[in-house]
Structures are given as C-alpha cells and as structure tokens.
Structure 1
Amino acid sequence: MTEEELKKFPQHVFGQAFTTLKCEGPAYLPWLEKRVKGSGGQILTRRVEDLWELHPSFDIVVNCTGLGSRQLAGDSKIFPVRGQVLKVQAPWVKHFIRDGSGLTYIYPGISHVTLGGTRQKGDWNLSPDAEISRDIFSRCCALEPSLRGACDIREKVGLRPSRPGVRLQKELLARDGQMLPVVHHYGHGAGGFSVHWGTALEAARLVSECVHALRTHTPKSKL
C-alpha cells in the first residue's frame, strides 16, 4: 500500500492491497446442488450413524462429513475451530479489509458485510457470546470507523472442521466378508472454499480408482 493509503490505518506500519474473489456460500452451494441435479444426480437427506448403513445400496462412499468423521470414521484428529462473526448492513463499505493476523476482517458481500472474527480451537459452543461480539465490533470499527453507523447487526457462529492435514485418501472397509470402498475428503478447516475445487478433483480421481477396482474384481457390481 502507498503511504497515502496507509494513512487510513494509523495503527499499522505497512500493508498490502490486491484484487481477489469472494465466494458466498448461500448463493454458491445452491448453484452446486443445481449442477448435481442437472447432471442426473440425486440428493437424499437421511441420518447416518455408521458408513455401513449405506451398503449395499451404494458400492462406493465419499465421506465428506467433516466433524462427523469423529464418529463415522473414528478420526480423533479432527476438531472444531469455533468462528463467531457479525453480519451487518453497511452498504457503503466496498473494500475487503483484513489485519495481519487474519483475526480481524471486514468482508462486504451481496446483502451484508461480514465482521470477524474468532479462531477458538476445540470449542463446540454454537451459541453467540455477547462479549465476543462487542470485541469483534470494536476491532472492526478501529479499522473502518464508519461501521459505527452499521445497522441490523446479527451474530453468527460456525464450527470449522479442522485437522492437522486434510484427509484425502482411500480406505477399504471390511465386515463379515463384505468390502466397502470409502474415499475420505474432509478436514479443510477455514480453507474449504479456497481449496475445495482442487481437492474435489483429487477425490473424484480416487473414486475412479475405486470404480476400476470394482469392475475388475466384481464385473456385475452396480455403480
């Protein structure tokens, strides 16, 4: 950033400016769902407590259950990182602003501005904390004072499914002489939207390997 641009942030000694994209889940996820249905896919909603419940209805399972993999896959390495943000109406805010730690940020969107945030490892609490909300608002106003005029302030809490590394691998489950190929694809933490397309392509490649193995060993299997 230039010296003139930095004058807006007197508490910082240097900064960077760049152009990027913002992906908004409420619009993007329905678009993905439409793509699935448009290509002949089906979306079923049901509670699953054991991956074997999906066998023999499905020959291959792709496990994208995030934190649910603690139970479904017995993975004790996955843990929540709690995030609390504020959604506010401040249509005059047009630029993304984020401090060096990445903990304080202002992200304008289509219908609201997101103010953040928190990064609380191991915290499963989904209830908003009023004190944290006040702290977030104060930190964001220090970066963009005009936010004190924001209205319709709403608190949101989510749990990021984090892990020491994304689990992207095949596993062949065996029970009572039956085999169930599983492709695990979870543990993206806060980087899900950033890397999801690439890891999904890799997961699809692993599924193709499973399909090939099934056709080789069980030619009459249904896929």
Structure 2
Amino acid sequence: MRGAKVAVVGAGVVGLSTAVCIAETLPGCSVTLLADKFSPGTTSDGAAGILYVEQFPDIPLERQRCWFRDTFDHLLAIAQSRHAPDAGVLLNSGVQIFREPPANKRPYWWDIVLGFRFLSERELRRFPEHTFGQAFTTIKCECSSYLPWLQHRFTKAGGKVEQKKVSSLEELSSDYHVIVNCSGLGSKELVGDCGLVPVRGQVLKVDAPWLKHFIRQEGGKSYIYPGSGYVTVGGTRQEGDWRLAVDPGDTEAILERCTRLEPSLCRGRVLGQWVGLRPSRRNPRVERAGQRLGGGRGAHVVHNYGHGGYGVSLAWGTAVDATGLVRSCLQEMHPRAKL
C-alpha cells in the first residue's frame, strides 16, 4: 500500500532483519528504523553467531521449524554468494557433545543443517567425559559485519534510519500506521513485559587460527566457535544477572572448561572480552497486539522480541513472520490495497 508508514523499533539482528524484510517485501511502504544504539553498540554485535537453537515449550513445532529453516536458507544463500565476506556469513562445521545421550538424539532441525550425523566411538575418544555427540555443518553469522551490511541493504531498499530513544510506543502512534517492536530486553520497560529476563553472557575473543571446527557442549555453557578473524570462546548463562562488566572469575572458568575440550587453546592469545545480556523469555513473542494504540484509529502494533540466545538463529524467520503480520494490519486498514 503506497503511503503506508511503518516503524521498526530496535536495531539488533532481529530489528534490522525485520526492517529489511518489510522494506523489500512491501516496497510501497515507507519504513523507518528507530533505535538509540546501532552497530557496533548492540547486544547482537558480540553474539557468537552460530546457527543453533533449542526448542521453545509453547510454540507449535512447525512454526519453530519455519523460523529456523527460513533463517538458515536465507543465510546459506548469502554464504554461497559473492557477498559472503562483506556480510560476515560463512559455513562452519563441528560437533556438539553430551555427557549422556539426550532424550531426543535428533533435534527438530537435524534435516535443516547440513550433513547431520552421530559421532562414532572413535571420534568420541577425543572427549573422554562424553558418551554421545552430533556432527553437522551450520552457519556462522558475524554480526559486527552482518549488521552494517544489513543496514546498507535496508537503506538501498528505501528504508530510513533514525537514531532515537523510544520511551513509549504511544509517542509514535500519530506518525505511523504500524509499529513493529523489536526492542529485545528493552521491551521489559517499553511494553511492560515482566516475562523478559536478562541472561548474562560473557565470551572471549582468542587468536587461535589453527582451530577450524566448532565444539559445543550440551546446554551451550562451553563452546569454541572459530570465525574469520578470531575464535569465540564461551560462555556463561547467568539468568537475572544485569552485570555488564567482565568478571575475571568467569574468564578463568571459561578458559579452564574450554581448554579441557580443546587443549591447544592454551596456546591462543586472548584478544578481547565481551559481555552481553540476552533477552530471554519462555517463548519469543511474535504476534500482533490485541488492540491498536489509542483505540479505534491508532497505530497497529506487531511484536517480535524475546529470542534469548537464539536471535541470530531465528532473526530472518521471525522477520518473515512479522512482515506477514504487518501486511495483514495494512490490509485491514485498506482492504482493497494490493500488498
């Protein structure tokens, strides 16, 4: 619908993906991306960026599969294109290991990643404290490159960018037909979501160019993810912890755990450390709000937040979902419009 005005609040990987998807899918709309922080200052910038996801309890499994599959296929196309180096998107092979076999040895995404198989007994000898493992090829999306690349793609599609702290969605209601809330942990105050909690994550950037394959321990507490310029080594999952300062005790524990998994890591040089707060929720919130802002003719609101540690893994899929919700809002406002 020409003349429709859409605002996307939040410029992390979910917000930028949503803004790009709307601008490219609904080219007649005017799309504005609003945020107080852009790359390199977002939580997404420090994410390890490996495509992997756990199952959420209350969302239909097929919807979760669509989110992950759409994201994987979108990033796979980039990884296999000439844009891969600029976008920071690359294929990454490795293993996930378990002390005891999980109840479900094949996660719901096993046929979406590439080359999924179980580790052999010979391969498991490398990890003597573990009895089961999975090998597969997934994608690593390095957001310090990907977010600026996405933002350029957004402006190329006609999108507008405005650095602004949004204190309430109501303040945008008179200027936009639809507001898409991708504010992550900010939604705790922005829309009063008491179900959102921070999950503190601390990682190290290590110079260890001889490491080429990832290792992830069950639960994601310990992981080693090689990238294009350094190896991301982590991590922590400290629920309800708002600390943003690096904790030396966590650094020591991370290095100790990960060096047990990969002894050669002790020869690596720590290049830097980073702390971020994952916007965790029992389930991601990808839905239309029940009411328009200010009643009858106010702006529609679509929510897309609460991905926890899986924002990179689900960003494009939930962006596609949110774009469909934006389309339905606009069609309700103008039933004859072709979108």
| TM-score, normalising length: structure 2 | 0.61
Provide the C-alpha distance between the structure 1 equivalents of 2:310 and 2:252, rounded to a whole number of angstroms: 26
Q: What SS does structure 2 have at the residue aligned with 1:135?
A: helix
Provide the C-alpha distance between the structure 2 equivalents of 1:127 and 1:181, rounded to a whole number of angstroms: 38
Provide the C-alpha distance between the structure 2 equivalents of 1:176 and 1:168, rounded to a whole number of angstroms: 21
2:194 alignment partner in structure 1: 76
2:209 alignment partner in structure 1: 91
Provide the C-alpha distance between the structure 1 equivalents of 2:143 and 2:184, rounded to a whole number of angstroms: 16
**Does the alignment pair 1:120 with 2:245?**
no
2:80 alignment partner in structure 1: none
Higher mean displacement: 152-161 or 39-48 = 152-161
2:131 alignment partner in structure 1: 13
Residue 180 of structure 1: CA displacement? 1.9
1:192 alignment partner in structure 2: 311
Residue 43 of structure 1: CA displacement? 1.0
Residue 165 of structure 1: CA displacement? 0.9
Q: What SS does structure 1 have at the residue aligned with 2:259?
A: helix
1:209 alignment partner in structure 2: 328
1:52 alignment partner in structure 2: 170
Q: Deviations over 1:119-165 (max 9, x none)?
A: 11111111110001100000000011111111134211001101111
Q: What SS does structure 2 have at the residue aligned with 1:201?
A: helix
Residue pair 2:127, 2:261 contacting (<8 A) in 1 also: yes
Q: Deviations over 1:147-191 (max 9, x none)?
A: 111113421100110111111111233437651211011001111
Question: What is the root-mean-square deviation in Å for CA atoms of aligned residues?
Answer: 1.7
Match of 2:157 among 26, 31, 39: 39
| TM-score, normalising length: structure 1 | 0.92
Q: What SS does structure 2 have at the residue aligned with 1:16?
A: strand
Residue 35 of structure 1: CA displacement? 1.3
- Partner AA of 1:173 in structure 2: R
Q: Which runs of no fewer than 5 residues in structure 1 stay unpaired? A: none
Q: Which has the higher contact order (CA 8 A, sep 6+)?
A: 2
Match of 1:160 among 268, 278, 285: 278
Q: What SS does structure 1 have at the residue aligned with 2:320?
A: helix
Identity of aligned residues (%): 49
- Partner AA of 2:285 in structure 1: R
1:140 alignment partner in structure 2: 258
Q: Which runs of no fewer than 5 residues in structure 2 stay unpaired? A: 1-118
Residue pair 2:235, 2:254 contacting (<8 A) in 1 also: yes
Q: Deviations over 1:6-46 (max 9, x none)?
A: 23222223322222211111121112111111111111110
Work out which of the two has the higher radius of gyration on C-alpha atoms and give 1 or 2.
1
- Partner AA of 1:50 in structure 2: S
